[in-house]
Amino acid sequence: MPTVLAESFIAAIARLSGDEQKQVKLTVYDLQTEPDRPSLQFHRIDKSKDPNFWSVRVSRDVRIVVHKTGASLLLAYVGHHDDAYRWAERRRIETHPKTGAVQIVEVRERVEEIAIQPVQGKFEFPAQSAAPAVRLFEHFSRDDLLSVGVPTDWIDDVRTADEDLFLALANHLPAEATEALLDCVSTGVLKRREAEPVASMAAARDERDLPLFKLRPPETPADRFEFAFRFERPPLAPPIFEGPQAHPDTLRRFRVVENVAEMEAALSYPWDKWAVFLHPAQRDLIERAFSGPVRVAGSAGTGKTVVALHRAMHHLRRSPDARVLLTTFSEPLANALRLKLAILAGADTFLLDRVAVASFRGIAEELHQLVFARKAHLASREVVRSLVGKAMETAGIEGISPQFVLSEWANVVDAWQIADLDGYAAVPRMGRRARLGARQRESLWPVFDGVRRALDARRLMTPASLFATLTAHYAGRADKPFTHIVVDEAQDLGVPELRFLAAIAPDGPDALFFAGDVGQRIFQPPFSWKGLGIDVRGRSFTLRVNYRTSHQIRLAADRLLPRSIRDVDGLEDDRKATVSVFNGPAPEIVIAATADEEIEEVARFIRAACDQGIEPGAIGIFVRSRDQLPRARAAAAKAEVEATELTGKTEGQADRIVIGIMHFAKGLEFRAAAVMACDEEVIPAQERIADVSDEMELDEVYATERQLLYVAATRARDRLLVTGVAPASEFLSDMSATTHS
């Protein structure tokens, strides 16, 4: 039978032990296939204010809380006996009288007086920061607060809340209400979410006889066949609620699961719940048709990757002729995307035959093999460095550092595939030295021409020339290898990669979909997408709700970046309106007197995380470069835990903490993360500053170094420690005014 799965159930099952989770899943499968089985022991939870809450016995001490109305069965919560009963006694499920969304509401009268404790690293309230006792929402009417989903029980609490009380209240309110109120504090605007007014659930139905969730009638056999044939059936069946239960805020909280295979897909993978329960803003971007290239932006943790994954699956299900490329900047991230896409496919594994998941370079190498029937042999950076040095000697170049010439080759000449001196004179050099005159370019050109000739003689390609070769092959052809291309971590696309993706994408709507965050750009210099024919103006969207990173960690990390970031084409990413949906401990920022003291601090942090039940594989330690890795290894050893090192090609293991450089942290997440060795001469990297010759280039170095630290810090979901040895990096004082030694 179709079963409604609540977000609260997914969150609760994750808190049980492995053996308990297995027992719960077996009971859930029995509930779905044979709900009337005598061995399933249902007991009404008499003390609950909602008469439709029942418990189902899983084991001697574990109970599932279900909501039974008519033919509808909703899995609401699971936990140990007393915990499960307390949860049900303090909640009811109802339709909000103003917005029409179905909510799980905490009963105000059964909640003990909320303890107000000062929250370190709390949200910045611009208008009230000097007077924290000011009531934040008292000037809004009851109707205003109802319009954003605040339950009736909680209106008075919200209207009288000051800063501290509101942060305590936030954990008791439905997510859409918390997000709207946080957004209001940030922007001063309360964005109403109300639908057509609906009657209260008690007035609209007989509570004992009518289902809270009304499902549409099943399709006819012919309809089912056509539906399956068109590959439109989702991995977890779409919510098939009618009327007010189809409200977007209902759909983010509940899912209808039609069979055991879909239930197994929903319960068997340790993937964040927000990959299943989509925010309405995410769902709209996934399902909407667009007339041209699309860009989805948003700060770390706002679900850009989730949107990219669902968008790829949307294309596969919508059309049996779809051939989809899902791509990102590295192979480890591509491997992670591949696993998550398989989860979304569920039992429909045949869909995966029509999608390629690979890194930018990986898909280029595959296509080169396919098109030219030979492998592309790529020159390593060390080989290119050697060829640049030899070419400089041959050309008699003096007074310019080899590092700069290598960078000029990689980021200008090779990236833009410049063929002659005239092309070099005309190429845009954004982010490069502003005062490289015509004579200097003329003197350097023999070096670059010599490097290219040397590569050709060795039959070697660079990644840029690999992309350029394929771009030239596909650019004029009507037959393309893919119908849709979805790009994750799009901020780290370079000129050759973007040209390549544009060349292998078909003309027309819905061909190119990019997800990325300009604030996390660490690998590529800026350039104009519009100048390369990729114009996303009018089709650029920003996600505002952060699901992954606690409010306190996000706030500290955001201090590293401008509140608004504008790209070369003038598109602005306004980060100040982003809100996190949960609180956590304030990040610790420690400046130690010595490296030994720092190692002890990090070891203490690791031990504390393990003592709090965080598995080793959910803990990460990151440093700026390989030179600082010995300090990370020493901290792991001091904490007496095994560690595995990220190399850019390998992934972590569940029973070992992860250590690695900040660059390899991109795209990963951990419940607890330590970012260490943030010393004064480590970040920003001194070798990068040494090659700077003007203010423009210095600004770019500082910006990308800040963004690199931002990437590392936002890998932490719940707990973050940032450390350095005195005198520490200036970036640490920017992150928090509470930095201590």
Task: Return the pLDDT at 135.
Answer: 86
In a shared domain, residues 393 and 451: yes
From 155, 187, 219, the end of a domain falls on 187
Give the torsion through C-alpha atoms of 266, 272, 277, 278, to 10 deg.
-140
In a shared domain, residues 523 and 600: no
In a shared domain, residues 395 and 504: no
Query: Does residue 577 lie in a domain region?
Result: no
From 187, 214, 249, the end of a domain falls on 187
Task: Return the pLDDT at 492.
Answer: 86
In a shared domain, residues 621 and 486: no
Range(s) of the domain holding residue 131: 112-187
In a shared domain, residues 161 and 213: no
In a shared domain, residues 598 and 713: yes
Under a CB-based contact definition with an 8 Å cutoff, are residues 316 and 572 in contact?
no
Backbone dihedral region for residue 189 (phi beyond 0: left; psi -120 to 50: alpha; all else: beta): beta
Low-confidence ranges of the chain (pLDDT < 50): 116-132, 195-241, 244, 270-271, 433-434, 738-741
In a shared domain, residues 218 and 87: yes
CATH of residue 212's domain is 3.30.2310.20
Helix 595-611, helix 629-638: angle, nearest 10: 50
In a shared domain, residues 450 and 335: no
Query: Does residue 146 lie in a domain region?
Result: yes
Task: Return the pLDDT at 601.
Answer: 96
| Cα–Cα distance measured from residue 617 to residue 609, given in angstroms and rounded to the nearest whole number | 11
Residue indicated by tokens 């991109």:
666
In a shared domain, residues 514 and 417: no
In a shared domain, residues 558 and 485: yes
What's the Rg (C-alpha) of the chain? 28
Task: Return the pLDDT at 164.
Answer: 72
Helix 260-267, helix 18-33: angle, nearest 10: 160
| Cα–Cα distance measured from residue 51 to residue 61, given in angstroms and rounded to the nearest whole number | 23
Q: Side chain identity at 374, as an amino acid letter?
A: R
Task: Return the pLDDT at 694.
Answer: 60
Task: Return the pLDDT at 728.
Answer: 93
CA–CA–CA angle 632, 301, 551 (5° rounding): 85
Task: Return the pLDDT at 63.
Answer: 96
Query: Does residue 237 lie in a domain region?
Result: yes
Q: Which of 333, 316, 157, 151 is nearest to 235 (CA)?
A: 316
**Count of domains observed in the chain:** 5
Query: Does residue 690 lie in a domain region?
Result: yes
CATH of residue 601's domain is 3.40.50.300
Task: Return the pLDDT at 133.
Answer: 60
Q: Which of 237, 236, 239 is nearest to 248 (CA)?
A: 239
Largest interatomic CA distance in the chain: 91
**Residues 6 or more apart whose Cβ sits within 8 Å of residue 478:** none
Query: Does residue 470 lie in a domain region?
Result: no
Task: Return the pLDDT at 17.
Answer: 87
Under a CB-based contact definition with an 8 Å cutoff, are residues 158 and 169 in contact?
yes
In a shared domain, residues 346 and 419: no
| Cα–Cα distance measured from residue 560 to residue 734, given in angstroms and rounded to the nearest whole number | 6
- What does the block give as tokens for 343? 């989860």
Query: Does residue 196 lie in a domain region?
Result: no
Task: Return the pLDDT at 240.
Answer: 39
Query: Does residue 542 lie in a domain region?
Result: yes
Under a CB-based contact definition with an 8 Å cutoff, are residues 494 and 299 in contact?
no
In a shared domain, residues 486 and 561: yes
Q: Which neighbouring-strand residues pair with 5?
A: 75, 255
Task: Return the pLDDT at 71.
Answer: 67
Per-residue pLDDT tens for 354-397? 999 999 999 999 999 999 999 999 999 899 999 999 999 999 98
From 428, 460, 492, the end of a domain falls on 460
Query: Does residue 128 lie in a domain region?
Result: yes
Task: Return the pLDDT at 695.
Answer: 67
